[in-house]
Amino acid sequence: MSTIKAINLSKSFGIETVFTDVNIILERGDKIGLIGANGAGKSTFMRCLLGLEENDGGRVVLTPNTSISYVEQDMVFGDQTFYELLRSAWSDIIALQAELSALEQAIAVEKNAAQREKLMSGYGQARERFERGGGYEYENLIRRVAIGLGFEETDWDRPLSSFSGGQKTRINLAKALARQPDFLFLDEPTNHLDIAMVEWLEEYLAAYNGGLLLISHDRYFLDKVATGIAELENHRLHLYRGNYTRYLRQKTERVAAQTAAYEKQQEYIRETEEYIDRYRAGIKSKQARGRQSQLNRLERIAAPVHRQTMSVTLKAGATEYAERVAEMEKISAAYGDKAVFSNLSLLLRRGERVALVGPNGAGKTTLLKLITGALSPRSGRIKLGNRVQLGYFAQEHETLSGSRRVLDEITHEFMLAEEQARTLLGSFLFIGDDVFKTVDCLSGGEKARLALLKLVMTGANFLILDEPTNHLDIPSREAVEEAIMGYAGTFLAVSHDRYLLD
């Protein structure tokens, strides 16, 4: 059986430890969800297992001839067409196919019996490898995966440069899934996928008979697919059996047990130290020295570490505003000659909490931009009610200024003193020198947190939210959900996050 073993694996960047003494065994059939806070080192750990990143200690051992496909978050494509890229995953099988064809021709013209027998033997071996590798099925597998991920035959010959970001994510997935390797390593595979595509991927991976290591913050996805959860926390890897929901119960129990054991040991240490101090020089000094020796040998239980989480409170500034918050009457939108939608009407009333869903490309973000005034409708009318104050969270974070420092993004826009701005930034996990980074240098999760802070600062009573939990880790997603649940205003949210929608 194919296996991947990490033995005492460690990795640091300079003086900063990413993870240390990690041990894990992955076997075919395991489906492990790798979770942890943004910046915990999940992608680095995955790349160390793949040999794409050099580890500082320990080793990775693979069973010989183990095949692995890797889907990373951002991938640069060449000048190939969509179909050429998918076929490249089967390059060894295609080479075998060419070898079989050449052998057939050679056998047909060979007159020498001994040489012909030798060619026939080689042909039999090559054909066995071809069949075992899925040579008669790969065209159908390519087609099934591509159609399952929403592509049509008209996409086959399109150059990769012509696809959108979300489509490129699906293309990368299609290439990895088409080959059906021993192991799939997937880094945030549901980013940019709509709900229908995510559900298709869930079914595919649940039925997949290979091994799976999956980085994801999508809790529904982890519940559907994972048979185990590996959490990278405080530089250590903790393994749990079962899906995400079962992990939550097990972690709560583990932390409670660790807390109880730690507190019990601390009480023992305190009582022992008091005894030693009391009898250090008295008649019981020998017993005191014995207890000191016991204390010195005692293996200390680490105190449970409670990770700081984002603190979000959404307050609606003006609570008295029009009953009819936003009205759209028979609006149409188009990009050039391409119609996005037409004759669309919608009324949002005060206090309503509306989720806008639909497949990628249906026009959800376009509709939001029409309401905010960033785009103008081709026809129809859009009206916001009196005293409606709009706040917009943009999926691509267009509300952020790339060249500014994080601190300046808050102080300049909201006229705050530096100390006040740093306190607010700290509640959104921008600690220490993080506030001096430029916006361009921030990760996707950091940009999302900064954009959320700016949204909080507006005090808007009508929120337009375009994928507000994208790129956020699970604790930050939960903080956003709690904030939205406690928000007294009106909101319209586009999301593929099913926990958030619930």
Claim: this prediction has a pTM higher than 0.85: no
Regions of the chain short of the pLDDT cut 50: none
Q: What is the pLDDT of residue 75?
A: 65
pLDDT of residue 317: 76
Query: In whole angstroms, what is the distance from residue 78 CA to residue 82 CA?
Result: 10
**CB-side neighbour CA atoms (13 Å) of 169:** 17
Q: 370, 331 in Cβ contact below 8 A? A: yes
Give the bridge partners for 326, in sequence order.
348, 384
pLDDT at 170: 80
pLDDT in tens, 220-233: 999 999 999 999 98
DSSP 152-203: -GGGTTSBGGGS-HHHHHHHHHHHHHHT--SEEEEESTTTT--HHHHHHHHH
C-alpha separations of 412 from 67, 324, 405, 408 in Å: 52, 33, 10, 6
**Distance, CA of 216 to CA of 226 (rounded, Å):** 10
Direct distance between the N- and C-terminal alpha carbons of the chain, in angstroms, rounded to an integer: 40
Name the DSSP letter for residue 40: S
How confident is the model at residue 195, as a pLDDT?
Answer: 86
- How far apart CA 269 and CA 261 sit, in angstroms, is 12
Quick one: DSSP state of residue 486?
A: T
